[in-house]
Amino acid sequence: MTGTSTTTDMSTTLAGVRFPNPVFTASGCAAAGQELQQFFDVASLGGVVTKSIMLAARSGRATPRMAETPSGMLNSIGLQGPGIDAFLEKDLAWLHGKGARAVVSIAGGSVEDYATLASRLRGHDGIAMVEVNISCPNVESRGEVFACDPRAASAVVSAVRKNVAPGIPVFAKLSPDVTDIALIARSCVDAGADGLSLINTLLGMVIDTDTMRPKLAGVTGGLSGPAIRPVAVRCTWQVHQALPDVPILGMGGIRTGLDALELLLAGASAVSVGTTVFNDPTAPVRILRELQQALADRGIERLSDVVGLAHRPLDPPQPTVPTGPIGDLLPEEVEA
């Protein structure tokens, strides 16, 4: 079944801000977009999510920082970056000049760091949203990751929301490495987050069986790529179910338009494309094209019509248990 791809309205709204389409880059996978510009116009994306920026310049962790895994990769970059001043002066100004919608990702080691970063963004043009990467160790709490503690996550989000100019949405980026992601999501929203980005990488580890030592210099690293997509779908589903009115920027292992559609159906209003960009730099625009075609093929007129659609019962309702005597059988009897 094929349809015309021109009929579907691909625009999406995140916390009151309208984007022409729902495909964004993922933080850390396309720097600030300059390298992608040789492959396509970054302004054609819904938005460019920049690599998490910290207050000071950082050289990151020792190498090796990346390792391949089945259907994914492990990274331990350590938030290498130029620091907020150089970022604002060069990267943000470049994105603004290109007409791209910048989603600025910030990261810190203390609540104070995040508050300062947020206030430094004030007065700069071209910021469509702020994404708060809370998957960072809290130096004031024995290195506990902010995203894994509802109170710490809440303190960061509240400080950022107070300091970012009103009218610019603040999205908290959640980690899947928690027992109850909806609990963390709720504490971020209660603290003032206008939306949620999910998921960040999962903590993983690879050991080289020749050297018989960890492959990454940082020992553990973040797992990303297709291997984590079912986790991203599950997290998006759970958060949308708990907080249906809160917009979600979904990500994790998206490689195709259908992968993006899956996350939209789970409850995301837009998606970020990360690891795939490393082996196909044109992936974001290809995924947008494939998604538009997939929606047209399904007779969908507006992208917003599929957001969270998988939560709604089929119409007419389909029986989940066969009617008649078989419905009374125990599950084991049905299996046999």
Ligand X SMILES: Cc1cc2nc3c(=O)[nH]c(=O)nc-3n(C[C@H](O)[C@H](O)[C@H](O)COP(=O)(O)O)c2cc1C
Residue 173 makes contact with ligand X by CB under 6 A: yes
Per-residue H/E/C for 245-280: CCCEEEECCCCCHHHHHHHHHHCCCEEEECCHHHHC
Candidates 226, 218, 166, 220; CA nearest to 192 is: 166
* Stretch near ligand X under the rule CB under 6 A, chosen from 75-83, 204-212, 309-317, 322-330: 75-83
* Stretch near ligand X under the rule CB under 6 A, chosen from 120-128, 143-151, 182-190, 273-281: 273-281
- As a whole number of Å, the CA-based R_g of the chain is 21
Among 17, 29, 118, 170, binds ligand X (CB under 6 A): 29
Bridge-based pairing of strands 195-198 and 248-251 is parallel
Catalytic residues: 136
Which H or E element spans position 127? Answer: strand 127-133
Judged by DSSP in three states, 60 sits in coil
Phi, psi of 276 (to 5 degrees): -55, -30
Binding mask 197-236 for ligand X (x = CB under 6 A): ---xx--------------------x-xx--x--------
Residue 22 makes contact with ligand X by CB under 6 A: no
Bridge-based pairing of strands 127-133 and 66-69 is unpaired
Q: What is the rounded CA–CA span in Å between residue 137 and residue 134?
A: 8
Beta bridge partners of 248: 196
Peptide linkage before 176 cis (omega within 30 of 0): no
Residue 240 makes contact with ligand X by CB under 6 A: no
Nearer to ligand X, 133 or 163 (CB): 133
Q: How far is the CB of 48 from ligand X (least distance, A)?
A: 12
Among 75, 158, 187, 269, binds ligand X (CB under 6 A): 75
The footprint of ligand X on this chain (CB under 6 A) covers a number of residues equal to: 25
Nearer to ligand X, 8 or 33 (CB): 33
Q: How far is the CB of 229 from ligand X (least distance, A)?
A: 7
Binding mask 317-336 for ligand X (x = CB under 6 A): --------------------
Among 46, 47, 51, 153, binds ligand X (CB under 6 A): 51
Q: What is the rounded CA–CA span in Å between residue 129 and residue 140?
A: 27
Q: How far is the CB of 101 from ligand X (least distance, A)?
A: 17
Q: What interhelical angle do 229-242 and 181-190 show, nearest 10?
A: 50
Task: Kindly list the residues in this chain that would bind ligand X in the complex (CB under 6 A).
Answer: 26-29, 51-52, 75, 77, 79, 105, 133, 173, 200-201, 222, 224-225, 228, 251-254, 273-275
